[in-house]
Structure 1
Amino acid sequence: MKIQKVTPENRPKVYALLQRAFPNSNYETLLVQKFHENNRPIHEWVCIHTNKVIAYIAFSNAYNGKQLCGLHLAPMAVAPDFQKQGIGSELLRFALRQEAIKSQPLFVLGEPAYYARFGFEPCSQPICPFDQGNTHFLSMHNSSNASFEVGYEAGFKSAALPPGKQGKKRRPR
């Protein structure tokens, strides 16, 4: 098993993994595709076993208005036939040690009991627009006391739109 940065060559394998890991949703696959298509800044790694992508993790920018305020962990996925073997935990621990990640405030919308094992704590500020009451919104290295709604990359909203409502692709300038 090898962990490496995502390359353009293994992006199709990432998309296939996300479809297998989230069989009832296209959201995660569309989100990552939009990050790639729009050249959005993203920190992402895959876990490869016998030339197959079996796990994936991504961190994208978090915002306070237009100001960068940290990173969002999303999505994270493990192939169904490799779940419950500690691979996702190993990948997350690896990512949390990386220079681009370890010094940033981190945010995740997820299962509190799972993410607490890695040092994430309940987060009352900032406010997550996708989690009323912030019951599943957690953070790490977050010292913000300011009350604001945390912003996400545009892909988080447009990936949720039905086909045909996503707007025209914009060319990078």
Structure 2
Amino acid sequence: MKIQKLMIENRTKVYALLQHAFPGTDYEVALVQKLHENNRLVHEWVCIHTSKVIAYIAFSNAYDGTDICGLHLAPMAVAPEFQNQGVGSELLKFALRQEAIKSRTLFVLGKPAYYQRFGFEPCGAPICPFDKNNSHFLSMRNNIAVSFSVGYEPEFNAAATSSGKQGKNRRSR
């Protein structure tokens, strides 16, 4: 198993992984494709096993208006046949140690019990537009005290529209 930055030649493998890991929806595939097509700054890593992409993680900018206030972890995926074997945990731990990530404020919309194991905490501010009660919105290194609706790259809404899904129920894991 090898973890590395996502290279252009592995993008189609990532799209296939996202389709496989999130059956019944094309939201995650549409999101990542649109981020790539629009050349958004995304920090991405993959886990490769026998030339196959078995896990993927991405971080994109989080906004307070037009100012960047941190990074969103989304999406994160592990091939179903490799889930519950620690692959996702290893990939996330690796990503959290990377220079582009390790000192930044991070946000994630996901399962609290999972992400709290890595240092994420319930987030009181800012408010996640996809989780109005912030019950599944967590943060790390967050010193934001002012309440505002945190912004995502426009591709998050565009992917929801193109996939026919509402963004409010999306989870990164």
1:112 matched to which residue of 2?
A: 112
Root mean square deviation of aligned Cα: 1.1
1:39 matched to which residue of 2?
A: 39
Task: Give the distance between the partners of 1:75 and 1:162, measured in 2 at CA.
Answer: 17
1:18 aligned partner, one-letter code: L
Mapping of residues 19-30 of structure 1, within 5 Å: 19-30=19-30
Asked if structure 1 preserves the Cα contact closer than 8 Å seen for 2:25 and 2:163, the reply is: no
Deviation sequence 1:110-169 (CA, Å, 0-9, x none) = 0000000000000010000000210000000000001110000000000011379xxxxx
1:129 matched to which residue of 2?
A: 129
* SS, match of residue 75 in structure 1: strand
- Is 2:154 the partner of 1:154? yes
1:169 matched to which residue of 2?
A: none
1:124 aligned partner, one-letter code: G
1:152 aligned partner, one-letter code: Y
Percent identical pairs in the alignment equals: 73
Bigger CA radius of gyration: 1
2:49 matched to which residue of 1?
A: 49
Mapping of residues 157-172 of structure 1, within 5 Å: 157-162=157-162
TM-score normalized with structure 2 length = 0.93
* SS, match of residue 45 in structure 2: strand
Task: Give the distance between the partners of 1:163 and 1:97, measured in 2 at CA.
Answer: 33
Q: Which is bigger in relative contact order (C-alpha 8 A, separation at least 6)?
A: 2
Distance 1:163 1:111, change over 3 A: closer
Deviation sequence 1:34-60 (CA, Å, 0-9, x none) = 010000000000000000000000000
Deviating more after overlay: 154-163 vs 9-18: 154-163
Mapping of residues 38-77 of structure 1, within 5 Å: 38-77=38-77
Distance 1:123 1:163, change over 3 A: closer
- Structure 2 residue runs of 5 or longer lacking an equivalent are 165-173
- Structure 1 residue runs of 5 or longer lacking an equivalent are 165-173
Task: Give the distance between the partners of 1:87 and 1:33, measured in 2 at CA.
Answer: 23
